[in-house]
A and B are shown apart, each in its own frame.
Chain A
Amino acid sequence: MSILQGFLDSIVYLFNTSGLATLTWQNYVMVGVACVLLFLAIKKQYEPLLLLPIAFGMLIVNLFPGIMGAPSTEMIPLTEYLASHPDVTEATIGYPITTLEGIQYVNYPHNGGLFYYLYQGVKLGIYPPLIFLGIGAMTDFGPLISNPKSFILGAAAQVGIFITFIGAIGLNALFPGMFTPEQAGAIGIIGGADGPTAIYVATKLAPELLGPIAVAAYSYMALVPIIQPPIMKALTTKKERSVVMEVTRPVSKLEKILFPIIVTIVIALILPDAAPLVGMLMLGNLFKESGVVDRIFKTAQNELMNIVTIFLGVTVGATATGQNFLKPQTLGIIALGLLAFCMGTACGVLFGKIMYVVTGGKVNPLIGSAGVSAVPMAARVANKVGQQENPANFLLMHAMGPNVAGVIGSAVAAGVLLSILG
């Protein structure tokens, strides 16, 4: 009989500690959201390298919130502790003892969950610069060096960040207290279309919004081929879209080696807050272009990048718990993120039109849309839209200039936001 009672007690205990008894409806909604994101990542292949770990992190944290639990200390009365540990004496207890109101307590530590420790890399701003190291190792800045004017388009596309910042502040007029200036800055950076930069800024300015911001940033990056073309077509004429650009000059190895060094010196001097992102981006690129550290170069762009991507993805996803994610703010972030992408694209194309006029029709304005980073997706979109007018027109390499300039531009914009709001 006692065996049966013990069995029933065990079953009741298991049920009470299981998710079935402890989870709220918000957790179940987020499990559904995670499953939708997993579908988009696997079936539709929308940014699967990041969306898949993010979605899985979201899934697991909503089923077992303790995986993100912080380490804690339980205060157990000393007498109770010694009674349950007969082989331990007060001298050999090994934990600090606190006395409160004449009663001695053992400070018994509980470790945090797995994701809590992995998340420290996000919280302390370590993973995004490491991702930038890998991106730098994979990026060819040749198109930008051969046509430095591309920087203007990379800068123009960042205007969307600041307009969205104003938009987020403006929402406070409709919904008082919806976003603080710091939160508005973290939301605006979604317009940079650069995941690591968005995460980096969000962890510094508004860590409480990290989950929705990361999900919005990566979702919109995956939707670049859908979001950008209508804007590009609406703002350009058929004649402008048909412009065939001149072949860019070849870039020497020495120029490519000097580029990351000069960019690092300039940015670190003028905008120290952007130095971790830009510095690591340029270090990765110097690994590539110097040609003397082949092993490190390969590690940066493969193994290290992949490992950090896993940690970053699952832990950022794990910040999207039901209680954090299912708020009116999230809807605002999703709407403002879309506005940021659209404004960035529009500003890039409009500056492309200005360059079209200034150069006497030598610049195809479509390449301006690639200034929103999202490497290389945005450049591919510019190429594709150009080829819809003229199949023999290859804009890809021309669009890569503003595209990689956008990466630097968004890091500079992040530095400005951190300088002012941080």
Chain B
Amino acid sequence: MFLSTLAKTAQGTENIWELSLNVLITGIVVVFAVLLLLILLIKLYSTIVYKAQNRAPKAPKGGNDGNVAQAAVIQNNGAMAVAQPQGLTDELVAVITAAAVACMGNSNIRVTGIRKRTTRSEWSDAALRENVQPFRMGDWK
């Protein structure tokens, strides 16, 4: 409604410079207004989703598909507790954190989760190794 009124105003204008300024001002104002509105909406729903998802921390299900290992850092009255599943030692967490700090050059980071990237079984891994072995760069030298 707002834009169509502006459009009619602009198209009815005989002075081309008036039309140009209409387009300039309308364009900049509308683009910023729409994108600012999107910022507000994204912040709003992100907050709602974050709160909804963190209201009641779910207990890890028994299966957890065997491939995902998580070390969740939970803040509780200022004290930090680290829940570690099998195979993820304190030393491993420390090494991964140190690597992340070194890579990013920023010591003010916190590792909240560690996830294994592969979803392949050992058999798939073996098959993949078998297939890509002839193409290793080292073999070409």
Give the B-binding residues of A (Cβ under 8 A): 144-145, 148-149, 151-152, 154-155, 158-159, 161-163, 165-166, 169, 172, 181, 184-185, 244, 246-247, 250, 252, 254-255, 258-259, 262-263, 266-267, 270-271, 390, 392-394, 405, 408-409, 412-413, 416-417, 419-421
Contacts and interface: CB of A to CB of B under 8 A. Distances in A.
B37 to A, nearest CB: 6
A266 B34 contact: yes
A303 to B, nearest CB: 25
B1 to A, nearest CB: 10
Nearest to B33: A270
A184 B27 CA distance: 14
A271 B38 CA distance: 13
B105 A392 contact: yes
Interface string B106-136: 1011001100000000000000000000000
Nearest to B41: A262
Q: How large is the interface on B (under 10, 10 to 19, 20 to 34, 35 or more residues)?
A: 35 or more
A93 B37 CA distance: 64
B52 to A, nearest CB: 8
B31 A145 contact: no
23 contacts: A148-B39, A148-B42, A148-B46, A149-B39, A152-B36, A155-B31, A155-B35, A158-B31, A166-B21, A181-B19, A244-B105, A244-B106, A252-B50, A262-B41, A262-B45, A271-B3, A392-B105, A393-B105, A408-B35, A408-B38, A409-B31, A416-B3, A419-B7
Nearest to B44: A262
Given A154-B35, A166-B21, 10 more contacts: A144-B42, A266-B41, A412-B31, A416-B23, A416-B31, A419-B4, A420-B3, A420-B7, A420-B10, A421-B11
B17 A246 contact: no
A225 B59 CA distance: 49
B28 interface: yes
Given A151-B36, A244-B106, A420-B3, A181 B45 contact: no
A165 B21 CA distance: 10
Contact of A421 (B23, B32, B42, B49): B23
Given A266-B41, A412-B35, A172 B49 contact: no
Interface of B: 3-4, 6-7, 10-11, 16-17, 19-24, 26-28, 30-32, 34-39, 41-43, 45-46, 49-50, 53, 104-106, 108-109, 112-113
Q: Which 7 A-B pairs have the closest CB atoms?
A: A151-B35, A392-B105, A148-B42, A155-B35, A162-B27, A148-B39, A169-B20
Given A166-B20, A169-B16, A416-B26, A252 B35 contact: no
B133 to A, nearest CB: 28
Contact of A420 (B26, B39, B42, B106): B26
B105 A252 contact: no
A172 B19 CA distance: 14
Contacts of A262: 38, 41-42, 45
Contact of A165 (B24, B36, B46, B113): B24
A149 B40 CA distance: 9
B24 A252 contact: no
Contact of B38 (A158, A181, A244, A263): A263
Nearest to B25: A162
A159 B36 contact: no
B39 A181 contact: no
Contact of A254 (B27, B43, B53, B106): B53
A413 B46 CA distance: 26
Contacts of B20: 165-166, 169, 181, 184
B104 A247 contact: yes
A19 B26 CA distance: 49
A106 B35 CA distance: 59
Nearest to A166: B20
B38 A162 contact: no
Nearest to A270: B34
A254 B49 contact: yes
A420 B22 contact: yes
